[in-house]
Amino acid sequence: VWMLVAMPALMGSGGDGTSGHHHGGGATDAAAPAATPEWIVVLNGVVIAVVAAFAVWWIVGLVRSSHHRARHVCHALMAGGMA
């Protein structure tokens, strides 16, 4: 859900349907994308930190547990990938 909310702003789109991506060209291209709002950058950092903490939590659970090892590996990889 966070990716759906944040990606347009993080990738430079102002939410007006324009992509914000710049593909070369000259002066005929659209204006430069707007700067990313600071609150989105901060909240994105918080989300990354929380997901990274969950990855570490699953790795610790993997080391401590003798049961459900595949579950721990799967969740650790998933959380690490999201971070």
Report pLDDT for 13: 62
**Residue 28: strand, helix, or coil:** coil
Report pLDDT for 27: 53
Would you say 58 and 69 are in contact if contact means Cβ atoms under 8 Å apart? no
- pTM for this model (two decimals): 0.62
Would you say 20 and 33 are in contact if contact means Cβ atoms under 8 Å apart? yes
Would you say 20 and 9 are in contact if contact means Cβ atoms under 8 Å apart? no
Mean pLDDT by runs of 10 across the 83 residues of the chain is 80 57 54 75 89 92 86 90 84
Rounded CA-CA distance 69/7 in Å is: 33
